Structure formats: C-alpha cells, structure tokens
Structure 1
Amino acid sequence: MKAFRIGFPAAILVAGVVLIIIGGDAPLGAGIVLIGVAGLVALVNVLIQLSLQSEDDRAEEERRRNERRF
C-alpha cells in the first residue's frame, strides 16, 4: 500500500513533466495541471495518514484509560 501512496502521485508527476517536455499549448497546460494534481494527491495521502495515526492514538489512550493505566 505504501508503494501505491508514493507511486501514484509520482506517476502523475512524471506524466505531467513528460507533457511539459513534449511542448505545445495543450500539452503544456495539461502537464502543469497534472503536476498540481500530483501535489494534491500527495497532500491528501499525508492528511489521511495523520488522521489514521491520530485515530490509533485515541484508541490506545481509551484502552489504557479502561485498564486504568495513564
């Protein structure tokens, strides 16, 4: 799963760079958009991971609270 989280935005980024290198108006615009999309996908991945980590921390804290271990 980690390979997908890293590989998917990287593949989008590479596609954007290739389109920019190809040149022309339409490929240039599409390449810029794809680079932006790659950044957004990477950001969403980071935010989801932070959310899942926070959820795990809360579950651990609740488990310890129920066992009376602080």
Structure 2
Amino acid sequence: MRLITPAVRYGLPLLLTIVGVYLLETRADRWGGLGVMLVGTAVIVLMLNVLFRISIKSNRERSLEEQAREFYDRHGHWPDGTS
C-alpha cells in the first residue's frame, strides 16, 4: 500500500504527461489530440490529489475542534487552559 499510493499520486500523472508530450512531439499530425488529452488528464489527476489532501486536512481540523468544544462543555474551559 505504501508503494501503490505514491505511484498513483505522482507516477500516473508523470507517465501520462510523458506519453502525451511524446505524442505531441512525434505524432502531432495524427495523435496530437490524444497527446493533449493525456496531458490534461495528468493535470486533472494531480488536482484531484491536491483537493483530496486538503479535504483530509480539513476533516482532521474539524474533528479536533469538535473535541475541544466537547471538552469545553464538560469542564468549562478550553483544553489548552485559556478561558
């Protein structure tokens, strides 16, 4: 699992970009459109990765905030000691 995730996260977009640029440079007359689509797909995969990571971070921050609010409700002060 530790090898598959980075391979999909970074290796797949890299492979798509390399193949897309290759098609654009060497076979632009017939396969240029496919090359453009592959490069665009690589960008989309990278952007989905970024958005997914932002979502995970946001969920973690929400969970910590919820725990702090529950602590405040039980004890009457914030967990870090501030009022």
TM-score normalised according to structure 1 size: 0.83
Residue 40, structure 1, aligned to residue 44, structure 2: yes
Q: Which residue of 1 aligns with 2:9?
A: 5
Could you tell me which residue of structure 1 aligns to residue 76 of structure 2?
none
Structure 1 residue 4 displacement after superposition? 2.6
Runs of 4 or more above 4 Å deviation: none
Uncovered stretches (5+) of structure 1, i.e. residues with no partner: none
Aligned length: 70
**Which has the higher Rg, Structure 1 or Structure 2?**
2
What is the RMSD of the two structures over their aligned residues, measured on CA atoms?
A: 1.6
CA–CA separation in structure 2 for the residues paired with 1:24 and 1:67: 62
How far off is 1:2 after superposition?
3.4
Given residue 25 of structure 2, which amino acid in structure 1 is its aligned partner?
Answer: I
Q: Which has the higher contact order (CA 8 A, sep 6+)?
A: 1
Query: Partners of 2:69 and 2:62 in 1: how far apart?
Result: 10
Structure 2 gaps of 5+ residues are: 73-78
1:57 matched to 2:48: no
Q: Does 1:28 align with 2:32?
A: yes
What TM-score results when the alignment is normalised by the length of structure 2? 0.72
Q: Which has the higher helix share?
A: 1
Report deviation, 1:14.
0.9
